[in-house]
Every structure is written in C-alpha cells, then in structure tokens.
Amino acid sequence: MSIILNILGIIVLLAGLYLASSDKTSVNKKLIGKALLIQFVLAFFLVKFPIGRTVVQIVSNFVTNVLGYGMEGLTFVFGPLADGKSGFIFAISVLGNIVFIGALVGALYYLGIINFIVKVIGGAIQKVLGTSAVESFVAVANMFLGQTESPILVSKYLHLMTTSELMLVLVSGMGSMSATVLMGYVGMGIPMENLLIAGALVPISSIIVSKLLIPETQHEEVVEKVEMDRKGAHTNIMSAISEGATNGMQMAFGIGAALIAITGLVALVNGGLGVIGLSLQQILSYVFAPLALLMGLDPSHVLTAGQLLGSKMVLNEFIAFGDLGQIIKTLDPRTALVISISLAGFANISSIGICISGISVFCPERRTEISNIALKGMIGGFLVSTLSAMIVGLILLF
C-alpha cells in the first residue's frame, strides 16, 4: 500500500503543478521527463547504491568535522557555557556556530571554491537539460547557499532573466537550505546525512517544479559566458571572512528573535484554542495529513508528519526541525529520512517578503514582477522538498 500511495503522491504532485501552470501548452515535457529520470538515478545513488551511501557518509563526516571547529571559537568566547558542562544552551551551541559557518562560507565564496563547483555541476545540467547557464548555476548554488545568497552569484544577469528563469531563482531559493544553518539543524538532532541528501536533490527538483509552474515562453537573453561575482567589494580574504561572520551574526540574531516570537505566539494561540480542546499543532496535523499520506508514510506517522509540514510552511523550518529532533530517534530510518528531506528548505510564509526584498535589490525595476510570482514561488519551494522526499521514499521501499 505504501508503494501505491507513494507513486500516487508523485503523480498527484506533478499533476497539480501542471494544472497550476501559467501556460500548459508550453510545458517542455521532454525536459521534465529527463529531469525526473536524473532525479531518480541520483536519489538511488545516494540512498541505495553502496558506493553512493559510502560517499554520503564520508562527506557527512568531513562536513561535520569542519563545521564543528566553530566550537573552538565559542568555547574561547563563552567558556563553560559552550563546552556543555553547564548543559545544552541553544543560543550558544546552535545559533552561535552560525557565525563561524558564515565566515567559512564567505572565505570559500571569495576563493572561488563554491563558484567552481557551481560552474561544473551547473554546466553539466545546462548541457543535459537545455536550461540556460544562469538559471542552471543558480539552481546548483542553492545546494550550498540560501534564498538571498545564491542570486548574488549572478546578480548582474537578473535584469536579463525571463519570468520563467526568475521563478527558478525563487523556487530553488525557497526550496533550499544555506550551509550556514546546517549545524543548527544538526544541533537539534537532525542527521547530517539526511541534510546533505536533501541539499543534493534541490537543483533538479527545483527545475522540475519551476518549469511546470512557469514554462519558458519568452526569448532568452543568450549569455555566452556567465561570470560569477565572487569578490564583490572585498579587497582581500579577511574582508570576506569579516563580512561572512557579520552576516552569520545577523542571521543568528534573526533566527533567535523569530524563534522567541513564534514559540511565544504559538503558546498564546494554543492557550486560546485550549478552551475548546484544540491546539495549533493538531489543526496543522490534520490539514497537512493528506500530503504526508501521499509520501507513503506509515499511517501511525501521518498526523505527526502533517503537523511538521504545517509548522514548516506556516511558522518556519527551525520550529519544524526542532520538533522532529525530539522524536527522530523513535522513527524508522525511512520515515526519518523522508520527513527530514520534506522539511529541508526555507519555504514558509515569511520567506516571501525576504525573497522579494533580497532579490529586488539587484534588479529594482523588476520588483513588481517578482512580487507577483513570489507566493507561487514559495509554494513551489515547499513542493521541491516534498517531491525530493517522495522520490527518496519510493526508492527506499524497494
């Protein structure tokens, strides 16, 4: 039954995207078919093929070790508050490490390492699927960067992009995770392997979703050679590291403030709903339960998954991952991986405004156009993670 539901889920999701398409007759079915095939092969390699699983484990250990060095800085500044002797302090152990990762990403960005990987993988996707160089690079960049970070790579080309390409920027951005917050999720109990698999599946799922929602109908501005801006206004690597650390600090404060506000507001809402014997979590669990069911999850986990999916979209992914982290060890491996992938990404209501503001900075003349498709982009970003989770879930059933 799980196999049937899982297959049905993928069909329903793709059919829903097609029905919501801005121009059904212009959907490039050959591109969508190729992308789906590639995504299934990639997912099989990552979760079933022995070599692929070994690669994921090795990369996971490497990334965890590298990102873990941030604890040295936290211990130096906060002493016993950071070394665990005083108990686990979320603001220091989780949010504090974002400052270090922000600096690391800034350095890798300046040195051109991220850019090189993006060009290699993006170039391959462009040749196989026929997508433009700019949108291919942005889709791949979202394996590492967030919704307002990846567009910086191709900022000087944003004003030339078609509406379909802009949709891909929005969908891949809101369907992605930034490397800056990975250790935050790990600190809440989410396995690094799950997060890396989710990130690797972002580019192709983003292309599938965005090209169904808004297929290419406009003449593309041909860019023979895309030059990605890696240095910006920085004169040396220390400047890039400093800015990265500052951005990480701002992100940490932003996440902390959002969690304080949202957690308090949810408690307030639950206090009111408690009068009639309900809670926000219960409502979300029933609203999103059908989507969880179509992932082929065991019926006993459907309401829990529905509540987590609802929390991600209505609140944010940190809240959802925090709730998942408390129960993930009680779940079977397939359920844990599928739910983890489905929650990966920034697609929530507040991200709409963040994307409009963040991307419009580089092309203010297109702010209205971006605003008009931002809601659709957020839903698309949400479905990027869902599609990836469904594909992985189906493969794990065989």
Which amino acid belongs to residue 125? Answer: I
The full DSSP string for 284-315 is: HHHHHHHHHHTTT--HHHHHHHHHHHHHHHHT
Q: Report the chain (398 residues): mean pLDDT per 10 consecutive residues.
A: 92 95 90 94 93 90 82 83 70 80 84 81 85 82 76 75 89 85 85 93 94 84 57 78 85 80 86 88 91 92 94 88 93 95 89 81 84 92 95 94
CA distance linking residue 248 with residue 239, whole number of Å: 14
In angstroms, how far is the first alpha carbon of the chain from the final one?
13
SS3 177: coil
- On whether the CB atoms of residues 337 and 46 are closer than 8 A, the answer is no
- On whether the CB atoms of residues 296 and 3 are closer than 8 A, the answer is yes
- On whether the CB atoms of residues 333 and 374 are closer than 8 A, the answer is no
Angle (CA) 232-237-95 rounded to 5° is: 90
Question: Maximum Cα–Cα distance for the chain, whole Å?
Answer: 63
Angle (CA) 146-157-383 rounded to 5° is: 40
CA distance linking residue 271 with residue 260, whole number of Å: 17
Which amino acid belongs to residue 281? Answer: Q
* Structural domain for 61, as ranges: 1-396
- On whether the CB atoms of residues 96 and 71 are closer than 8 A, the answer is no
Burial track 235-253 (b if 16+ CB lie within 10 A, e otherwise): eeeeebbebbbebbbebbe
- On whether the CB atoms of residues 288 and 322 are closer than 8 A, the answer is no
- pLDDT score at 342: 95
The full DSSP string for 201-213 is: THHHHHHHHHHHH
Which amino acid belongs to residue 147? Answer: Q
Q: Please compute, for residue 198, the number of CA atoms within 13 A of its CA located in the half-sphere on the CB side.
A: 31
Structure tokens given for 164: 């379909």
- pLDDT score at 150: 73
Structure tokens given for 322: 């925090």
Total of domains in the chain: 1
The residue count for the chain: 398
CA distance linking residue 360 with residue 350, whole number of Å: 16
- On whether the CB atoms of residues 350 and 344 are closer than 8 A, the answer is no
CA distance linking residue 139 with residue 121, whole number of Å: 10
Q: For the chain, how many helices (H) and strands (E)? A: 20, 0
- On whether the CB atoms of residues 172 and 138 are closer than 8 A, the answer is yes
* Other residues' Cβ atoms within 10 Å of the Cβ of residue 326: 11
In 3D, which of 211, 257, 190, 135 has the Cα closest to residue 387? Answer: 211
